[in-house]
Amino acid sequence: MLNDKVILVTGGTGSFGQAFTRAVLSRYKPRKLIIFSRDELKQSEMRERFPRDQFESLRFFIGDVRDRDRLYRSFDGVDIVVHAAALKQVPTAEYNPIEAVKTNVLGAANVIDAAIDHNVQKVIALSTDKAVSPVNLYGATKLCSDKLFSAANSYSGYHSTRFSIVRYGNVIGSRGSVVPLFLKLRTSGVLPVTDPRMTRFWLTLEQGVDFVLASLQRMKGGEVFVPKIPSMKVMDLAEAIAPDCRVEITGIRPGEKLHEFMITPDDARHTLEYESYYVILPTYRAGELHHYMDHNGGKCCPEGFRYSSDGNSWWLSREEMQRVVEHLCGTKPGIGHGA
């Protein structure tokens, strides 16, 4: 699928971008893999991890998705774009709303225009469960971004560019997630938990990368691809990582939910279920549900169906999370204060 292709990853020096780069370079032979990001330090560090004499197809491009002219220059000759650039810290977006809009919404619009005008074949954008019925600005900007990418299929005109979205939950071990925070704080003997009832969807970086690659192959244009992934209670997560620590309940932060949704009952009316994932068709294609199913399989979701972190049928146990964290960090969870 990606052999001899020119692939560009926006936000390519982030957690996902680096994992995606490792996967692509180990499985495929792209003509070029371009890392587009605004952080020269992270690019320098990434060059050291991927030396040029071993990874000749890798390129680095300093730029910001807010900069339309720079995007247009970088998209020249590109076949596939994976859009991972975003301001994603919920508290940061709450207190810097215009900056979040500039990157997550206007940046998305710039990516769309550059992709269409350069005849990029496929664009897949990374989204989040926080974009579903959003209660914070980050989620609202990602919902807007999702709508932009979905609608872009309608106005690409004679260009053949196709746009789709991948939506998933919290990534274990990614920068800014609660797992590295708990690992850091476990030596203090106290872990902060905002609410003991809280649940979240979880997946590893590798699972996220695999799902994006699979979705690139499946996409027809306009879909939101949602993987079937497990949930876990935040209290169980804390117990799994640092069972010796005391938990301190701090209260829900601004813009935070008790539980997350990936598919609402309203979305379910135009959603198809497959063995390991769901496909949400855009509302403007809702009438094509059975036509899409005839060509791609799947089955309609029942009326009233919802996919939420608290109503999930698949739950991570403490032991499973411990094994994942140990694999990611090379250290056994539970070794904390007083151990």
Nearest to 228 by CA among 307, 325, 171: 307
CA distance 316 to 338: 27
Bridge partners for 200 per DSSP: 232
CA-CA distances (angstroms) from residue 16 to 6, 20, 237, 242, 320?
A: 18, 6, 22, 26, 22
DSSP 8-state symbol, 112: H
Give me the catalytic one of 130, 142, 228, 233: 130
Nearest to 305 by CA among 259, 272, 337, 260: 272
CA 66 to chain centre: 19
Nearest to 16 by CA among 195, 168, 130, 188: 168
Respond yes or no: is residue 130 known to be catalytic: yes
Positive or negative, the CA dihedral 193, 168, 37, 26 is positive
Which of the residues are catalytic?
130
